[in-house]
Structure 1
Amino acid sequence: MLGIVVSGHINFASGMRSAVEAIVGQQPQLEFVDFLESMTTDDLEAQLLSAKARVDSGDGVLFLVDLYGGSPCNRAINILLNDQNVEVIAGTNLSMIVNAALEREEFSLKELTECLARGEFSQIKDLREDINNLAQDNDSEEDGL
């Protein structure tokens, strides 16, 4: 099973942990690493490496980080550059973490990374547009036989 490490600034990761666990329960091989104000970037990288070691069963490790170009992202990239069995996705949100946790047994590391990066599991929706499309679909059904 693919390992997943979630990281972000201040309490991003621990906040995501509580939300993920409320939705899907505790998940194996899923770690959360906060980058706190009291930490150096070297401390952060050490914690990311430790989390990677705990979740890595040999199938690969996916790092899901909050912001592209932020310290969690940059330090995860350092790990990626030294390990071909690691991928990093920035811009992580709750639905991405939940879907990654639930879908990771069905995909290889590269396939899951590509699906998440392309937004295939995205929950980002313009709800007015969705409602209007639903209304149009209902109108077209009434015009039929």
Structure 2
Amino acid sequence: MAVGLMLITHQHLGDTLLQTARSMLGELPRACEALAMSQNDDPDTIEERARARLRSLDHGDGVLILTDMFGSTPANIAGRLAREPKRRVIAGVNLPMLVRVLNYRSLPLTELVNKAISGGHDGILLCDQECSDAAARGSHR
């Protein structure tokens, strides 16, 4: 079994991140989905929808919930969901974090949280000089 994964984000940021990860990695696991939220959505309705989806994502190893911005409505909903056992929430999702999570989903939830945070943190770089040097060498993707 593996940890389930849910992204709760503003608009369709989570869907876009998952689509991008799919294009990089190939197939995504079944126990992986995004829940989009707009400013017009009722938070209680979104929370109930998320609770129902979490039950289907958890196959016994728990669920990691990634959200976009700490203190926002999606993050607050995610925080309420994390009050249940085997649920962890990380705010500040980015593509390096998501790819790290998808590559290490077989880890226990606690270890996966550490991998996710390190992947997100390590994926943030100031690369103005390095990027221009790499482009000059022709080693860009």
Instruction: Work out whether 1:9 is the aligned partner of 2:10.
Output: yes
Alignment of structure 1 residues 61-100 onto 2, 5 Å? 61-81=63-83, 83-100=84-101
Percent identical residues: 24
Partner of 1:126: 126
Partner of 1:117: 117
* Contact 1:21 1:27 (8 Å CA) reproduced: no
* Contact 2:10 2:36 (8 Å CA) reproduced: yes
Give the distance between the partners of 2:115 and 2:98, measured in 1 at CA: 12
Give the distance between the partners of 1:44 and 1:101, measured in 2 at CA: 24
* Contact 1:99 1:121 (8 Å CA) reproduced: no
Offset at residue 108 of structure 1 (A): 0.9
TM-score (norm 2): 0.82
Give the distance between the partners of 2:48 and 2:93, measured in 1 at CA: 21
Q: How many residues align?
A: 132
- Residue type at the aligned position of 2:98: I
* Contact 1:104 1:112 (8 Å CA) reproduced: yes
Greater gyration radius: 1
Offset at residue 32 of structure 1 (A): 0.6
Offset at residue 58 of structure 1 (A): 0.6
TM-score (norm 1): 0.80
Partner of 2:137: none
Gaps of at least 5 residues in structure 2 are: 135-141
Partner of 1:48: 50
* Further displaced range: 118-127 or 15-24: 118-127
Gaps of at least 5 residues in structure 1 are: 135-145
